[in-house]
Amino acid sequence: MQSGSLRRALAPVAALLMSVALLLMGNGLQGALLPLRAAIEGQSSLAIGLLASSYFGGFVLGCMQAAKLVQRVGHIRAFTAAVALASTIALFHAMIVEPLVWWILRGITGFAFAVIFAIIESWLNEKSSSENRGTVFSVYTIVNLTVITVGQLFLTLGDPAAFPLFCAASILVSLSALPVALTRAEAPTPIEQTRVRLLHLFRQSPAGVAGALAVGLANGAFWALAPVFASDHSGGLSAAEATAYFMSAVVMGGAAGQWPLGLWSDKTDRRRVILFASVGATAAGVALTLFSDAFAGAPFLFAFVFGVFAFPINALSVAHLNDHVEDDGYVEAASGMLLTYGLGAVAGPFIASVIVGAAGIGALFLYTAAVHGAFILFIWLRIFRRSAPPEAAQVDFTDSLIVSVTVSNVETGNLETS
């Protein structure tokens, strides 16, 4: 796309992208800060894991209620209310350092961010056309990964045991309300609600739905406990520096792997690319478990490799499911995949924290390797049991980056297991 066309595509959503940048800087900082601060406070691995489980539990509930909230008060009011709630909660973490209180606060934060993302992504979807939607959401994805990295690097600017970093996270989240609140763009139409049939989706693409679940189980545990792993393998750096660099390496690896694997999957049986990525993620998990102290910088190198292979699996799985649904089924497919991911991300941190509590923090990536390894076996069996769709029937991978649009369309009563 030429620069003029790109500017025209992005002009209607520039305010939203500015809000996303500020919002995810704050969320990236907070997501890395909380596990690190919890470890400093001597909280158990189970307590730290439940922080992420609570967040994703709140996120799933928020997905189910966002449409009702937007229909009641409108996009802008719902957005500013959710931002205010998320910003306030960030400060409460610094004021009350108790595991039970933090679990409740993280659940509320997950709910608020589900509403925020639902509004942003439904707005982006409506303000883009079929000709430029892939470009808009590609830019959106790049912004996401970039600013999360920047937010995590803010850890190096302060003491995780002190108040200023919590304050910085709150400020960044608060500022994200300004571009949307001051925009002159017309708000989109109310979000419509959609029925999601999880078992129906699984029958259409067992590999795709299983992929979303596996990614939730593995990545949910990663977000929960990787900061603790990084601080334990600091290699002479401070805990904050090691955490910031480690988490950033994984996210940058995810950004680097997304496009090559995605484009490759457009040209072959997508399950074989998912299999390849899962093998790479398994190998990286084993390397992080066994060789993180092998040489200077080893944790960061293996973290980057882990991101290259582990992070693209979700979008690849969504693309594979989309290969098997009709055009009018994309909304249900995207919503179902995100809910499946969310359910996995609720369970993953809890399971991993129990394992880490028994075997030590070094077992974190042994757990992710086990999840990816089990998924490898499942994918391998599916490749032999079902032939791939013809290349002409495959969707463009860039369209499958729009994985969380319409997740807010799911109403509690419309979630079905049949």
Specify the pLDDT at position 190.
64
- Residue 53: how many CA atoms within 13 Å on its side-chain side? 19
- Residue 386: how many CA atoms within 13 Å on its side-chain side? 18
What does the pLDDT average to over 99-105?
A: 96
Specify the pLDDT at position 405.
41
How far is Cα 134 from Cα 397, in angstroms, rounded to an integer?
9
**pLDDT of residue 262 exceeding 80:** yes
Percent of the chain with pLDDT over 90: 54
Specify the pLDDT at position 25.
95
Position with higher pLDDT, 393 vs 9? 9
**pLDDT of residue 406 exceeding 50:** no
Specify the pLDDT at position 131.
63
**Domains of the chain: which residue ranges?**
1-182, 194-401
Confidence class for position 404, pLDDT limits 50, 70, 90: very low
**pLDDT of residue 178 exceeding 70:** yes
CB atoms within 10 A of CB 236: 7
- H-type helices in 74-189, by residue range? 75-95, 99-127, 133-153, 164-175, 177-182
Specify the pLDDT at position 11.
76
Give, in order, the Cα–Cα distances in Å from 173 to each of 27, 157, 176, 416: 7, 18, 5, 34
CB of 199 within 8 A of CB of 418?
yes
The DSSP secondary-structure symbol of 194 reads E
Position with higher pLDDT, 306 vs 409? 306
The contacts of residue 29 (CB under 8 Å, 6+ apart) are: 151, 152, 154, 155, 165, 168, 169, 172
- Residue with the two structure tokens 């792993």: 229
Specify the pLDDT at position 412.
44
Give, in order, the Cα–Cα distances in Å from 350 to each of 222, 312, 344, 402: 11, 23, 10, 28
Give, in order, the Cα–Cα distances in Å from 115 to each of 163, 167, 174, 369: 27, 22, 15, 32
Q: Domain 194-401: what homologous superfamily?
A: MFS general substrate transporter like domains (1.20.1250.20)
Q: Give the lowest-confidence range in 129-138, 239-248, 326-335, 393-402.
A: 393-402
**86, burial (CB in 10 Å: exposed 0-12, middle 13-18, buried 19+):** buried
Specify the pLDDT at position 415.
53
The contacts of residue 360 (CB under 8 Å, 6+ apart) are: none
Specify the pLDDT at position 126.
72
**pLDDT of residue 393 exceeding 80:** no
- What pLDDT digit, counting tens, does each position of 280-331 carry? 999 999 999 999 999 989 999 999 999 999 999 988 888 888 777 766 566 6
**pLDDT of residue 251 exceeding 80:** yes
Position with higher pLDDT, 133 vs 404? 133
- What pLDDT digit, counting tens, does each position of 372-390 carry? 999 999 999 988 876 656 5
**pLDDT of residue 395 exceeding 80:** no
Percent of the chain with pLDDT over 70: 84
Specify the pLDDT at position 122.
74
- What pLDDT digit, counting tens, does each position of 40-77 carry? 999 999 999 999 999 999 998 988 887 788 888 888 88
Average pLDDT over all residues of the chain: 85
Specify the pLDDT at position 389.
60
Specify the pLDDT at position 64.
81
**pLDDT of residue 399 exceeding 80:** no
**pLDDT of residue 333 exceeding 60:** yes
What does the pLDDT average to over 95-99?
A: 93
**pLDDT of residue 402 exceeding 90:** no
Specify the pLDDT at position 358.
95
Position with higher pLDDT, 117 vs 192? 117
How many residues in total does the chain contain? Answer: 418
How far is Cα 180 from Cα 177, in angstroms, rounded to an integer?
6
Q: Give the lowest-confidence range in 36-40, 186-190, 195-199.
A: 186-190
Q: Domain 1-182: what homologous superfamily?
A: MFS general substrate transporter like domains (1.20.1250.20)
How far is Cα 281 from Cα 298, in angstroms, rounded to an integer?
16
Domain pair 1-182 / 194-401, same fold: yes
- What pLDDT digit, counting tens, does each position of 11-28 carry? 777 888 899 899 999 999
Q: pTM of the predicted model, to two decimals?
A: 0.85
